[in-house]
Each structure stands twice: as C-alpha cells, then as structure tokens.
Structure 1
Amino acid sequence: MTSPTAPGDEPERKSIPPAALVKEAARQPGGSVAEIDQTLISDPNGYIPAEAIRGVWKVDATGQLTGEFQPNPRYGPPQDDFTKLVSTDHFLHWLGDDPATAVRESVAEIVDQQVPGATVRWMKITDEPRFLTAGRQAPDDPESLIVTRAALAASFGIGVDSPSGRYDILWGVYSIAVVGLDRADRARSRAWFDLWTALDTAEEQLRTRITEVNLPS
C-alpha cells in the first residue's frame, strides 16, 4: 500500500476538486463534501477513520463545488484512539492497570483466532462505552457495595492485516464480562466480538452475558 503524504508535506492543491465528488456535492447544497484517501480504507460504505479524510470541499447553495478546500490536519495513517474508554469516570480497575492495552490485546487475540496470523494495525473506540456492574452489600457497612461482577460494551473500528496481504476495516462492538471480582486472583472473564452490531444492541445483551460467565469454584 502506498503511504500517504504527510499533511505538512502535501503540495499546494489546485482549485479543481476530484470529479467523483461532483455528484455528492449536488446532494449537499450549502454544505461540504469530504475527499477520502482510498488507500486508507477498505470499503467506502463502511467505517472510515478520521485520518483517511484528506479534507473537505465547500459546496455552494446550488450544489456546485466552489473549489475551496479545507485540509484535514489529522490526515495520515490511522492511529489507535482509546480516549472514549480511558476518559470515562467509570470504575475500570477490573480491566487492569492499563484498560486500553487490555482491550486491544484481547481484540487482537480474537482476530488471530478467527483468522490465524491476522494482526490489528490500529483500533479506535468510537463511542462512549456502556457499563454494567453488580455486587453485594458489605456486611459491616450497609452503605457500601462489594463489586462482584462487571461488564462493558464498547463500539470499535479496527484495521486488520491478513496473512494474504489483504487489509480490511471492521466495526462492531467488543464486550467483556468479569465475575468473581471479590475473589482476588480467582476472577474469570469472557469476551464477545460482535461485528456489524450496534452499541444499543450489545448493551441489551450485557445483562444476559454477565450471568453466562461461571463463578470460580
């Protein structure tokens, strides 16, 4: 795959926009249309990382491209982004000291299991995760809760390289449930990898899934 030119090195653009955007502009009068670097995506109708957008072209009130172009400062090879996961105020210690790494490694393992030798080039959490926590009342403090189970569902976009050289961008929801959190190192977990699934759908499944993980004996 040809590496894109870095934003700062990109030559001065002409005022003639790509012909492929003309039809799209007609559907966006008074707005703008994005120019996508096709080498950075696998499906124009699928998930498109922000870095794959070269910039946007302005459209006039009649649906015509004006020739005015606003470059995207983030344009370039897609990078990991777990901001929406790690910036939450929700309790995440049950995922370890580095929740982002834990989730990424789990997803990479699942991808390798499904397609041996496949690797995750980049991963992004695309929406605020949904959480579910269960526990029991502390015997010596009625106002305290001892957390025994926890789960989350996080929507994602990932770039995957297969051993054959194929590059695909996948999207869906990664879910994980951990039980036995009150039993120190005897806790158990299970993960789910639901492609082409909406976050609301995966969240509805959490209540069932959190009970499917067997407690340690």
Structure 2
Amino acid sequence: MGPFGSQIRHKGIPDEPALLAAAAENPGGSVAEIDPTYLDDPNGYVPPEAIRGAWLVDSSGKLTGEYQENPRHGVPQDDFSRLTDPDHWLGWLGDDPATAVRKGIEESLRAQVADAVLEWVKILETPRFLTGGRRHPQDEQLMVVTRAALAAPFALSVRTTQYGRSILLGVFSWAAVNLSTPEVRKDRYWFDLGVGLEWAGEQLQQRIYEVDGPRS
C-alpha cells in the first residue's frame, strides 16, 4: 500500500533531474508530485489536496516507476476538525464554532488588506483553550463562565488584488470576556504570523485579561 492508500499503477520512470534527485534523498519512501495551481511557493506549506500523487522509491533511492494518485487531489478545503474534535466547551463561539473562527480570521485579514478573500483555512493542531469564571451564587459546585479564549495554529490561503495568492502560517487567537452578561461582552482577535502554538499559548494567559482594557 502506498502513501495515499489508493491503487498503485505503473507509469514508467520519467527523465526529470529534480525528481530523480529527490528520489535519491528518500530511499524506501516516496516523492510527491505537487500541483502548482493551488500554491504560491511549493517549498512552503502544501495542503494535502495540492498533491497530485506520489512516485514510489526503492531502497537504493531509485524510482520504481510506480505511481499512486492522491484521491484527495483538487481544490483545497477548510479543515476545522482539530478545533471541533476536542472535548472542550465551545459554547461561547455560538452554534457553529468553525464558522465563527473562520469569520474572525477573515476579519483579521481584511483589517490589513480590505479586499482580502480567504480561500481556505486549516487548523493544524489542537488549539489551546482557556476558560475562567466564578462560583454560582446558588450552587457552589457550579461555575459561571465569565471569560474564554483560544489560540489556533493555522495554514491558510488568501487572495488580494495587489498581492495575488499568499499561503500564510501562524496562530489565530480570540478572547472574550463578560460572557455571563452578553450585553457588555467584549471580544478581541490576535493574528500572529510565523509563530508557534507554545508562544501563542503563553501569550493567551495574559491576553485573556487584556480584553477588559480600553482597546477592546
């Protein structure tokens, strides 16, 4: 079985120096064929759908001539499964947390470039979640949630008139306070490029309290 779990077919060995060199560096593995239609930089993040298939490589680093097509090849799609899969309360994001986070990311992009269009976004790791609250006045075993936050690592594709398509990596953070009194609820987004979840998670510890300030 090859890397995509689909049928392998024989295509012959192409005479492409770059492909042969990549095979030599991956003995016993495979070399992906990238579809440039959906990318701005093939050396950057590559969404799974942008891989046409893979050439299989033998143990000596030579192409076998066998090729496995990627059944997922096509237009990249949103993937929020790592946001919604965890057993964590997301009620503060509404009935559709994925749509809410997507809208927040798009608003962050348009705050920088007004005509930005978010083509797709993928949450790459389980986000960091924070919640805070106070004891329920009638039942000390219950907690009233008053503030919540998340930091979600992403890869996304955005298109603008001036810059064309760009694929960006970073962490989107969102904090909300006064959740028990919706009429005075405050929310704030942070859109950090080129950072990791560890850094963003540490920042979230402070950011969840910054929302109370006048900049909110």
Q: Settle same-fold status: TM greater than 0.5.
A: yes
CA distance in 1, matches of 2:186, 2:15: 53
What residue is the counterpart of 1:58 in the other structure? Answer: 56
CA distance in 2, matches of 1:72, 1:145: 48
What residue is the counterpart of 1:43 in the other structure? Answer: 41
From 3, 11, 20, the equivalent of 1:14 is 11
1:80-119 to structure 2, matched below 5 A, reads 80-119=78-117
CA distance in 1, matches of 2:79, 2:26: 30
Q: Secondary structure at the match of 2:126?
A: coil
Which amino acid is the alignment partner of residue 11 of structure 2? K
Q: Secondary structure at the match of 1:67?
A: strand
Q: Are 2:70 and 1:75 equivalent residues in the alignment?
A: no
Which amino acid is the alignment partner of residue 16 of structure 1? I
The alpha-carbon deviation at position 14 of structure 1 amounts to 3.0
Residue-pair matches, total = 205
Which amino acid is the alignment partner of residue 92 of structure 1? L
Deviations 1:73-111 (A, max 9, x none): 000110111111122221111011111111111111111
CA distance in 1, matches of 2:80, 2:19: 32
Which amino acid is the alignment partner of residue 74 of structure 1? R
Deviations 1:164-208 (A, max 9, x none): 361111111100000001112321110100111111111111101
Deviations 1:133-179 (A, max 9, x none): 11111222222111111000111111111113611111111000000
Which amino acid is the alignment partner of residue 161 of structure 2? P
CA distance in 1, matches of 2:31, 2:212: 50
The unaligned stretches of length 5 or more in structure 1 are 1-11
The unaligned stretches of length 5 or more in structure 2 are 1-8
Which amino acid is the alignment partner of residue 203 of structure 2? Q
Structure-2-length-normalised TM-score: 0.89
The alpha-carbon deviation at position 27 of structure 1 amounts to 1.2
Distance 1:53 1:120, change over 3 A: same
Structure-1-length-normalised TM-score: 0.89
1:67-216 to structure 2, matched below 5 A, reads 67-164=65-162, 166-214=164-212
Q: Secondary structure at the match of 2:49?
A: helix
Deviations 1:47-77 (A, max 9, x none): 1100001111111111111111111000011
Distance 1:13 1:167, change over 3 A: farther
CA distance in 2, matches of 1:149, 1:129: 16
